[in-house]
Amino acid sequence: MSAQREMKEKNPWHTPVTIITVIGVIAIVALVTVAVLQNRPVLQKYKYGIVLDAGSSHTALYIYEWPAEKDNNTGRAEQKYVCKVKGKGISSYANTPVKAGESLNECMQEAKMQVPTKRHHETPLYLGATAGMRLLNMENSSASDKVFQAVEKALQRFPFSYQGARILSGQEEGAFGWVTVNYLDDRLKQGLETTGALDLGGASTQISFVSKNYDISESPSNSVTFRLYGNDYNLYTHSFLCYGKDQVLRMALAHQTKSGPGTILDPCFHPGYLELKDYSLLYDSPCVSDRKPQNATGTFNHSGAGNFKQCQEVVKKVFNFTSCKYSRCSFNGVFQPPLQGPFGAFSAYYYVMDFLKLTDATMPLKDVKEKLANYCATPWNEIVKQHPEVPIKYLAEYCFSGTYIITLLTDGYNFTSESYSNINFIKKIKNSDAGWTLGYMLNLTNMIPAEAPDSPPLPHAGYVTIITISALILFVLFILSLRFICPSFQKTPHIV
Ligand SMILES: O=P(O)(O)OP(=O)(O)OP(=O)(O)OC[C@H]1O[C@@H](n2cnc3c(O)ncnc32)[C@H](O)[C@@H]1O
Ligand SMILES: [Ca+2]
């Protein structure tokens, strides 16, 4: 027995130093291995979604991508690519529907190149049409059906997972624009105060915001409720058909030509501007067709006077402020709760205000109006000389469009000199365009959960840091233990 004990005591593997050394080394190797494995760069795989925005003035194709392993709602979808379809919007092909389909081919070919081939068949493809097709559908529903058939046929030829083409309601257009803005700003996931969305298209305009004082029962048709990431939102939204900037221009011109004169002196166009315009083209829209004067045939001279104040008076005539059956209205008898919080204003709000250099949110409303008045008063030949790179059609209309934007925001939506500074004119948020398309795709792919996803207790970086620090502490303790707990370690070991 005593010989056995002696052997055990002499066995170098049974000394405390060896045991501590072995345990320490194993612990450190394990910790470092875990940290390194967790930290190794993983090859990121992406999933894709394609949305075609068939607007009244043009069509754009957007490709979104998001990390494949995170589609359980933790990775953010972002815009990877945008393709502007050449030519006008699909509603302009009412008489030649096949061409509406053909117009999409070039961008669709591009999409084939942009999305990795092995993802093609699982990539959803949506087409949403807005106010141009709403108007065509009102005017001539069989023509609008034919345009959709042609578009559908063209899209189905591509290897993506085609999910349909349809007209969005104004409510959807407004609500999905709001979802996009707040999703990209990470406001939804974090339950932060939301940003309102202002979208100005060619044929309609949308306003969407959360107002805490909003009584949902007052106008149910303006209310959209969402539960996103565990938070409830009661969104006010309204889309004004015919209040996009192209249709409002028609309405303003219709108002000025209602007595059928041969020449109109338009305060919304620059002094010296003169164009011969066609009555039948001007009145070729359900927004104005009922106002066509009997004697309005042939052409009229459209000449500019360049007067901001008078232009505002003309623009105000397109709004009806007289009747409101609710506690408060914007215009045309449409309910609107009190404005609240910051707003993002995109699409034509941005194009126009960016051109006019009026996007600076710190610029007081009074200065914005003054600059606009000076711009409108500038002679047309000077404007053309100053901006040789800008298409003439856009250039001619910036005075009108800027005046419409200011009038819509202040007289229409009731922004004041103070609340005007809450409006940010934006094009993109973190590289993705502001607009309804991303919100539409997120909704149809169920990428925003109603409840907040279970998140790991620590973010990855925090996890790796803690592992590394623990390893270091363990290592230091290990050295100390060798020195203090086992003083023999300080002596040179004698191996006999
Ligand atoms: O929403 P809907 O009403 O269907 O229309 P849309 O989707 O086609 O409308 P956009 O936002 O694309 O454009 C709005 C308007 O701005 C015009 N537009 C586009 N780019 C512009 C630019 O650089 N400068 C001035 N106007 C521009 C365009 O012709 C439209 O009249
Ligand atoms: Ca649009």
* All residues with CB under 5 Å from ion ligand 2: 55, 201
Q: Is 410 inside any structural domain?
A: yes
Name the residue type at position 188: L
Using DSSP, state whether 42 is helix, strand or coil.
coil
Q: Which of 56, 61, 86, 166 to mutate to test the pocket of ligand 1 (most atoms within 8 A of CB)?
A: 56
Q: Is 99 inside any structural domain?
A: no
Closest residue by Cα to residue 160 from 186, 135, 123: 123
Q: Check residue 366 and give its pLDDT.
A: 98
Interface confidence: ipTM more than 0.90: yes
Same domain, yes or no: 318 and 462: no
- Which of 401, 425, 449 is the last residue in one of the domains? 425
Q: Is 159 inside any structural domain?
A: no
- Which of 425, 444, 467 is the last residue in one of the domains? 425
Q: What is the 3-state secondary structure (H, E, C) of 82-133?
A: EEECCCCCHHHHCCCHHHHHHCCHHHHHHHHHHCCHHHHHHCEEEEEECHHH
* Residue 303 structure tokens: 């000449």
Residue pair 400/244 in contact (Cβ under 8 Å)? The answer is no
The total number of structural domains that make up the chain: 2
Same domain, yes or no: 386 and 332: yes
Residue pair 224/238 in contact (Cβ under 8 Å)? The answer is no
Q: Is 473 inside any structural domain?
A: yes
Same domain, yes or no: 384 and 471: no
> Closest ligand 1 atom, CA of 205?
3
Q: Check residue 339 and give its pLDDT.
A: 97
Q: What is the DSSP letter of 337?
A: P
Distance, in Å, from the CA atom of 485 to the CA atom of 126, rounded to the nearest integer, reads 70
The rounded Å distance from CA 58 to ligand 2 centre is 9
pLDDT cut 70: percent of the chain above it? 82
Same domain, yes or no: 313 and 415: yes
Same domain, yes or no: 277 and 326: yes
Q: Is 205 in the pocket of ligand 1 (CB under 6 A)?
A: no
Same domain, yes or no: 276 and 351: yes
Q: Check residue 3 and give its pLDDT.
A: 46
Q: Measure the N-to-C terminal CA separation of the chain; round to a whole number of Å.
A: 23
The rounded Å distance from CA 224 to ligand 2 centre is 20
The ranges of the chain with pLDDT < 70 are 1-43, 70-74, 261, 296, 454-468, 470-471, 474-475, 478-479, 482-496
Q: Which residue has the tokens 């006019």?
A: 356
pLDDT cut 90: percent of the chain above it? 76
- The CATH number covering residue 289 comes to 3.30.420.150
Query: Out of 173, 193, 313, 397, which one is annotated catalytic?
Result: 173
Q: What is the pLDDT of residues 275-293, one digit of tens each?
A: 999 999 999 999 999 988 8
- Which of 373, 401, 425 is the last residue in one of the domains? 425
Please state, as a whole number, how many other Cβ atoms lie within 10 Å of the Cβ of residue 217.
7
Using DSSP, state whether 17 is helix, strand or coil.
helix
Q: What is the DSSP letter of 495?
A: -
Same domain, yes or no: 421 and 486: no
Q: From atom 13 of ligand 1, which residue's Cα is the shortest distance away?
A: 201
78-107 burial, b if ≥16 CB within 10 A, otherwise e?
A: bbbbebebeebbbbbbbeebeebbebbeeb
Same domain, yes or no: 414 and 293: yes
* Residue 224 structure tokens: 């959209």
Q: Is 10 inside any structural domain?
A: yes
* Residue 462 belongs to domain spanning: 2-34+457-490
Q: Is 61 inside any structural domain?
A: no
- Phi-psi domain of 306 (left: phi exceeds 0; alpha: psi -120 through 50; beta: other): left
Residue pair 318/254 in contact (Cβ under 8 Å)? The answer is no
Please tell me whether 262 is known to bind a ligand.
no
Same domain, yes or no: 324 and 408: yes
Q: Is 299 inside any structural domain?
A: yes
- What sign does the dihedral 331-335-336-337 (CA atoms) show? positive
Using DSSP, state whether 278 is helix, strand or coil.
strand
Q: What is the DSSP letter of 335?
A: B
Q: Is 219 inside any structural domain?
A: no
Same domain, yes or no: 281 and 387: yes
Same domain, yes or no: 323 and 470: no
Please tell me whether 206 is known to bind a ligand.
yes
Same domain, yes or no: 336 and 402: yes
Distance, in Å, from the CA atom of 33 to the CA atom of 391, rounded to the nearest integer, reads 61
Known catalytic residue at 102: no
